[in-house]
Amino acid sequence: MANTMKIPSRELWSYFGYGLGQCFSFGLVGSFINYFYTDVLGISALAASTIFLIARAWDAIHDPLFASIMDTINSRFGKFRHFMLIAPLLITGVTLLSFYKIEADTTTKILYAGVTYILWGTLYAISDIPFWSMSSVMTNDSGQRTRAVTAAMLGVNAGIACANIFFPKLAAFFSQYSNDKGYFMAALVMMLVGLPLMLNGFLQIKERVPPSPEKVTMRDTFRNLKQNKPLFIILLSFFFCVFHNVANGIYIYFFIYNMGDASLQMVIGLMGIVAAVVCLVAPMLTRKMPKRKLFMILCGLDIAVRVVMWFAGYHHTAVLFLLLGLSTIFVMMTNILTSSMIADTIEYAEYHTHKRCAAITFSGQTFTGKMSVAVGGGLIGVFLTMIGYVPQAQSQSDAVLNGLFFGICLLPAIGSLIRLGFMSRFTFTEEKHAEICRLLAERRHATPEDEVKVQPDGRPVSAN
């Protein structure tokens, strides 16, 4: 295998910082834009839902399209690093526009919300796809990639958690002085903190894995994606976090009606930060066992914890949050493994197609993540309707209370069971990845005659 490309700690911290700053924006839009549209901007929930639906349809087109373009480009900064200079400025600007309350008629407000939200999703992809793709070019070593992805995922989760913790307080503070501009000013403060974190990531992070020697065309990128069979198993496992996303949307209802205290929602954000710190052990665990096996164990633990939660009930708050905290750790760590395994499939597809296409590979993660959140958001309304939830009621029936507890407890367990089933079919192990990396290194230094020996039938074989 080629020499291990070790990533310096300074670089890992900078990678963490980029994810942190970027996900201030993701956390703000993901958690608060719907409320901003309906209760601040003043458009209907139906209009907001229509905007989200159109945006997801556009994502299905532009995410892989932009990624395929990225894979064809090389610059003096590398393949992806230059996007990390441009994207932070674009994301900051469009996030502020998304939370700006315009004074206009309802139709104009709906158009403004639609344009800014779709533009936000488009520009966010220009940042998120290169951000994750960098993990595949910072090093070619699977273990080092897990360290990089761990740093990135910790930044992502910490950014989302910080948005959920600090943004409501900032919005309430600024609303004292200007009720119309409270959300905008809060977003401005958050993004002014996030912008230098992202720009520092551009300055510090390095690309070490050389691009494919052959010129890559857009047609090549889609052929590369089609050949990447292990990727689709990982993405299916990733998508079925959708049930955890439903639970995330139900928490606020559960805390209000079952627990009688809406402020407990803040504890979820704090648990995210604690879980992110605990997940620092992920690289050490992957040195002890294969990622696939670890992923399946974590899914099994999540199922076990949530079953215990169901039987323990929710009348002991400390026990409830202890179990929710453990589940948060298990799920967050599976997402770290997901990104690391996605990075490893890049060499799989490169071996079979002779073209290295990292961006189109990670566009799958970006789109799947957006789709999982969107579908989860849509299912929340369906779930609340099924259990008989009454909007704005002072109290709910016992059937609704039991349904809400089921939604935060056993529904995610079903998701983990499905994820475990998909991952059981994943066979691209670390050993196979190491062998492919070795063969790719031989291919790069081989003569045309030698190359026939390296890959005679499209499968990894010894060059000798």
62-119, pLDDT tens digit by residue? 888 888 888 887 777 778 888 889 999 999 999 999 999 999 999 999 999 999 999 9
pLDDT band, residue 165 (cuts 50/70/90): confident
Q: What is the pTM of this model?
A: 0.74
The CA distance from 162 to 25, in Å, is 11
User: What is the pLDDT, as a whole number, of residue 213?
Assistant: 63
Tokens of 110: 């709906």
pLDDT confidence of residue 326:
94
260's torsion region: left (phi>0), alpha (psi -120 to 50) or beta?
A: left
CA 55 to chain centre: 17
Residue 446: what pLDDT?
Answer: 64
Chain length of the chain: 464
Residue 212 has pLDDT above 70, yes or no: no
pLDDT value, residue 296: 96
Name the β-bridge partners of 75: 78
Please give the distance of CA 64 from its chain centroid, rounded to a whole number. Answer: 16
pLDDT value for 306: 96
Residue 448: the pLDDT is 52
Least reliable range by pLDDT among 26-40, 291-305, 319-333:
26-40
Residue 393 pLDDT > 70: yes
Residue range 376-397: mean pLDDT, rounded: 81
Residue type, 404: L
For 7-45, the three-class secondary structure string (H helix, E strand, C coil) is: CCHHHHHHHHHHHHHHHHHHHHHHHHHHHHHHHHHCCCH
Strand, coil or helix: 326: helix
Q: How confident is the model at residue 457, as a pLDDT?
A: 42
First to last CA, the chain: 14
